[in-house]
Amino acid sequence: MPTGSGSGSGSAAVERCARAVADWEPRVQAWTQLDLAGAAQAAARSDAAAPGPLTGVTLGVKDMFDTEDLPTEYGCRLFAGHRPRADAATVALLRAAGAVVLGKTVTAELACLHPGPTRNPHRLTHTPGGSSMGSAAAVATGMADVALGTQTAGSVIRPASYCGVWGFKPSWGAAPVAGLKLVAPSLDTVGWFARDPALLDVVRRVLGGGPQVAPGVPPSGFALVRTPEWDLASADSRGAVEALAVVLRERGVPVDEETGIARTAGEVGVLAGVVAAHKTVQAVETVRSLAWEHRQPAGLSDELRAVLDEAATIGPAAYEAALGRRARALAELPALFRGADVLIAPAATGEAPAGLGGTGDPLFARCWTLLGLPTVTVPGAIGATGLPIGVQLVGRPGADAQLLAVARWLAPNPVPTVAARP
Amino acid sequence: MPTGSGSGSGSAAVERCARAVADWEPRVQAWTQLDLAGAAQAAARSDAAAPGPLTGVTLGVKDMFDTEDLPTEYGCRLFAGHRPRADAATVALLRAAGAVVLGKTVTAELACLHPGPTRNPHRLTHTPGGSSMGSAAAVATGMADVALGTQTAGSVIRPASYCGVWGFKPSWGAAPVAGLKLVAPSLDTVGWFARDPALLDVVRRVLGGGPQVAPGVPPSGFALVRTPEWDLASADSRGAVEALAVVLRERGVPVDEETGIARTAGEVGVLAGVVAAHKTVQAVETVRSLAWEHRQPAGLSDELRAVLDEAATIGPAAYEAALGRRARALAELPALFRGADVLIAPAATGEAPAGLGGTGDPLFARCWTLLGLPTVTVPGAIGATGLPIGVQLVGRPGADAQLLAVARWLAPNPVPTVAARP
């Protein structure tokens, strides 16, 4: 299964993805807009132009990003049929690098909680996670090579875990948010999904990141971090984290007690209360950012309206305190990383939950999102009932290139799509 | 001249502003869209509703903020006639507090350099500054009580200085940016103008800031800061800064050498290179954020296209270095503030320059914008040729309420509009 390397043909990539769409889309419903004819034309133009780093790569765009040629509805009835004038900055940069946009992918309502129709391709009765649900499912099924998502709590890392693909959330601010519908600006981060971590890194560079780092282990090794929420992860999610540590040791990577394979309670205390602070920051910024939507007489789900109503009761003092908690944790990060460059932690509480009425719990992404650290979901583990489980790797502030170098070293081979699995 | 206090009648305020519009707008050209009939209807609705903190206050909205009922063109031909679906978060919050939107004010092209048609009401052959040019001029002439602006370099502080009004740039992130056209997200800050600092503070609270602080001097006093660019300010701009220090002493405020009325070269060294770092961050983020606009075959000014072309040559390493410079300066801020809570510095290089082909130099706002500190332009001084000159006050990180308390203490009486001057 080709994964798109920048060396291929855009037209062939569109044809390949169109076949996956025919196979999967009726069941998975990952797309709000799909324009395969327009994509074929764009691919022909891309193939005729000078090759770019993403020539031959197809792209799904979470419907939180503006597109000049496709409706952009933010998963919200208030924006039905909305047509932006311009592409979001990310979309413009990826297109200029040769990527061909296939369409817009399903998002939970305004990238919050209320799910869209997308189903988990590994088991159709289960959620693919959210809010970047369509993007994760489209990549998992080979309907797109890369798909843009956004993360405000756990909206990239969690669906990547549930769908068994690589998901990358760069450092906050590393990828441009212009043309993205903002929900909680000090948290909102552009992320993306792929079946190959090398492709995650190509996208990072196209969006403005620094040069590629040679794949390999981090110079100072790994540390397994049992965050204060560790016991809320399922046995198989905890097991996946611990299994990765074992694999690393087996591959001769210097991760041992001395360099910090485990952290003491005091060190993990750097993160105490950070999840609660994230929830406060998210709630307050969301109710401010969605001030117009909140005041419309109709058009929001009851679920989102209740969230906004409750968020409106949180005062500025609680928000300031949460920002202070973030600042202290950032100042104390060296005590958490200590000698390590990469932390290993759960990506989600477990396998994708059954049912399509929710999108699962972003718990294990909240603290890293609040701190703005780069994180990646490493797929490959299988949970107790046979669904995918990811492991989260967390890099030092701004060490995006280094983190993806580790990801590429971990998995030189692409993750198979669902279709390729037994 | 009423300034809008939240206790008045919206209908009366609209009538008052309409008279100022009739007087001034043909000469000043502050507005891209003006809907006085719609404003009268909105005022009637506002007056009939429960009074809000901004009932009786009229609002001009810089045309970088989306509005559901008025075209939003970002000062750029590429967006001619563009109609957003929703109000920006700021606009929705201010409307919900009772403010009546009169229309959209002129912005420099995409809040960058290329000016719109607005003239300085104090001398029509001079620029009002930019990029929030229409907002500053509308407030100075009484055409609006409050007007929203944005600041990425000096787009609030400088036009406030040139137009002789109060301008406030809160801490970065303190006011919501959802629905604002982003240009350089780690710098872009919502700001606003008024003729009365008390009104600046009402707006701050409506947009989510903490409670009002009683007006008064800061507990630890003031420090005059001669930044590394001090010698580039005109004699009258430097004189305005020094005169304010004298006034403060005359009013018995404990600002003396011991508490830091002057700073040594070493302490000011905290700011060495910070202006250059700001320029790099602004350039790199702008060319990323305007990726779509940059790739359109036409529709940008030659001036902006040249800026973007040059910015595109700056590599990620220079950007990372500039972010590092910001981080170090933030870590060293205590050495700059030392015992003081408020810094006194120039707001602009001098009076508004002659001509309408540019908007003046944002030099003296760049460092504070990069550092995300709250700043306010204090009007009142008059320059060598009779045009206004402001002085800039800079607060500690997040001390927005405290800074505006100082502003209110400095000037309990509103600044007169241009019309009221001899």
A351-361 pLDDT, tens digit per residue, is 999 999 999 99
Mean pLDDT in residue range B357-382: 97
pLDDT at residue A415 greater than cutoff 80:
no
Report residue A4's pLDDT band, with 50, 70 and 90 as the boundaries. Answer: very low
Give the three-state DSSP class for A75.
Answer: coil
Question: Which of A285, A292, A293, A295 best probes binding to B when mutated, by most B CB atoms within 10 angstroms?
Answer: A292
pLDDT exceeding 90 applies to what percent of chain B?
82
DSSP assigned state of A99? -
Three-class DSSP category at A194: strand
Residue B330 domain flag? no
pLDDT, position B325? 96
Find the domain containing A94 and state its range: 10-216+409-420
Q: What is the pLDDT of residue A123?
A: 98
Residue A350 phi/psi, 5° resolution?
165, -155
Residue A284, in any domain of the structure: no
B117-143: b (≥16 Cβ within 10 Å) or e: ebbbbbbeebbbbbbbbbbbbbbbbbb
Both structure tokens of A178? 């212009």
Assign A52 a pLDDT band (cuts: 50, 70, 90): very high
Do the chains contact at A289 and B176, CB–CB below 8 Å? Answer: yes
Q: Does residue A188 sit within a domain?
A: yes
Question: Which residue from A79, A207, A317 is facing B85, i.e. has the nearest CB?
Answer: A79
CA distance B402 to chain A (A): 14
What tokens were used for A156? Answer: 């990239």
> Which DSSP string corresponds to A116-159?
-S---TTSTTB---SSSHHHHHHHHTTS-SEEEEEESSSTTHHH
Over range B310-317, report the average pLDDT: 96
The residue ranking higher by pLDDT, A216 or B119, is: B119
Tokens of B309: 């072309």
Catalytic residue among B11, B62, B104, B132: B62
Distance between CA atoms of B364 and A387, rounded to whole angstroms? Answer: 57
Average pLDDT over chain A, rounded to whole?
92
Mean pLDDT of chain B: 92
Q: Quote the minimal CA–CA distance from A91 to chain B in Å.
A: 8
Lowest mean pLDDT among A408-422, B164-178, B398-412: A408-422
Q: Is B155 a catalytic residue?
A: yes
A239 inside 8 A of chain B by CB: no
B53 band by pLDDT with thresholds 50, 70 and 90: very high
Terminal alpha carbon distance of chain A: 14
Name A378's bridge partners: A391
Q: Find the CB nearest B291 among A89, A182, A295.
A: A89
Angstroms from B237 CA to nearest CA on chain A: 35
By C-alpha distance, which of B286, B279, B274, B232 is closest to B108? B286
Tokens for A254?
Answer: 């210097």
**Cα-based distances in Å from A46 to A58, A86, B301, B312:** 11, 19, 28, 21
Please write the tens of the pLDDT for every residue from B182-199: 999 999 999 999 999 999
The answer to the question of residue A356 being in a domain is no
Q: How far is A178 from chain B (nearest CA, A)?
A: 5
- How far is A401 from A386, CA to CA, in rounded Å? 32
β strands within A152-205, DSSP E: 166-169, 189-194
**Chain A residues 162-181 with CB within 8 Å of chain B:** 173, 176-179, 181
B406 pLDDT higher than 50: yes
Contacts of A86 (CB under 8 A, 6+ apart): A66, A68, A92, A179, B78, B79, B292, B293
**What is the bridge-based pairing of β-strands B189-194 and B146-151?**
antiparallel
- Cβ distance A85 to B79 less than 8 Å, yes or no, reads yes
**Residues of A belonging to the active site:** 62, 131, 155
Query: What pLDDT is stored for residue A5 in this prediction?
Result: 47
Asked whether the beta carbons of residue A92 and residue B177 sit closer than 8 angstroms, the reply is: no
pLDDT at B268: 63
In this structure, what are the phi and psi dihedrals at residue A353, rounded to the nearest 5 degrees? Answer: -70, 155
ipTM for the assembly: 0.94
pLDDT at residue A270, as a whole number: 87
What confidence tier does A338 reach under pLDDT thresholds 50, 70, 90? Answer: confident
Q: Is B259 helix (H, G, I), strand (E, B) or coil?
A: coil
Query: Does the beta-carbon distance from B173 to A186 stay under 8 Å?
Result: yes
CA–CA distance, B73 with B317 (Å, rounded to integer): 34
Q: From the centroid of its chain, how far is CA A261?
A: 25
Mean pLDDT confidence for A367-373: 98
Q: Residue B265: its pLDDT value, please?
A: 57
- CA B297 to chain centroid, in Å, comes to 32
The structure's pTM equals 0.95
Cα separations (Å) of A66 from A90, A177, A369, B361? 9, 10, 23, 33
Out of A166-175, A231-240, A245-254, the most confident range is A166-175
Residue B106 in any domain: the answer is: yes
SS3 A108: coil
Pick the closest to residue A57 from A211, A206, A191 (CA basis). Answer: A206
Task: Work out the minimum CA distance from B302 to partner chain A, whole angstroms.
Answer: 20
Q: Read off the pLDDT band of B226 (50, 70, 90).
A: confident
CATH code for the domain in which residue B148 is found: 3.90.1300.10
pLDDT at B54: 97
| Nearest in space to B179 (alpha carbons), one of A190, A289, A70 | A289
A396 within some domain = no
Look up residue B55 and give its amino acid: T
Residues of chain A with pLDDT > 90, as a percent, come to 82
Task: Tell me what pLDDT residue A361 has.
Answer: 98
Model confidence pLDDT, tens digit, residues B110-156:
999 999 999 999 999 999 999 999 999 999 999 999 999 999 999 99
Q: Which positions in chain B touch A172 (Cβ < 8 Å)? A: none
Question: Can you read off the two tokens belonging to residue A184?
Answer: 């909680």
Which residues, numbered 84 to 113 in chain B, qualify as contacts with chain A under a Cβ-Cβ cut-off of 8 Å?
A: 85-89, 91-93, 96
- B140 — phi, psi (to 5°)? -65, -30
Mean pLDDT of B280-305: 98
B345 has which bridge partners?
B392
Both tokens of residue A324?
């202070």
Give the pLDDT confidence score for residue A219 in this predicted structure.
Answer: 79
Maximum average pLDDT range among A339-348, B7-16, B31-40: B31-40
* Predicted local distance difference test score (pLDDT) of residue A281: 98
Are B292 and A173 in contact (CB < 8 Å)? no
A247 pLDDT above the threshold of 90: no
**Predicted pLDDT of residue A421:** 37
Q: Residue B350 phi/psi, 5° resolution?
A: 165, -155
In a domain, residue A36? The reply is: yes
Closest residue in B to A211 (Cα–Cα): B316
How many domains is chain A partitioned into structurally? 1
- C-alpha–C-alpha distance, residues B53 and B6, integer Å: 5
Q: Is residue A119 part of a domain?
A: yes
Q: CB of B236 within 8 Å of any CB in chain A?
A: no
DSSP conformation letters of B20-73: HHHHHHHHH--EEEE-HHHHHHHHHHHHHSPP-TTTT-EEEEETTB--SSS---
Task: Give pLDDT, residue B161.
Answer: 98
Give the pLDDT of residue B266: 59
Tokens of B79: 């967006």
What is the pLDDT at residue B127? 98
CB B316 to CB A79 under 8 A? Answer: no
**Tokens 């959802």 sit at which residue?**
B178
- β-strands B146-151, B58-62: how paired? parallel
Give the span between the Cα atoms of A86 and A355, in whole angstroms: 36
Query: How many other CB atoms are found less than 10 A from the CB of residue A420?
Result: 11
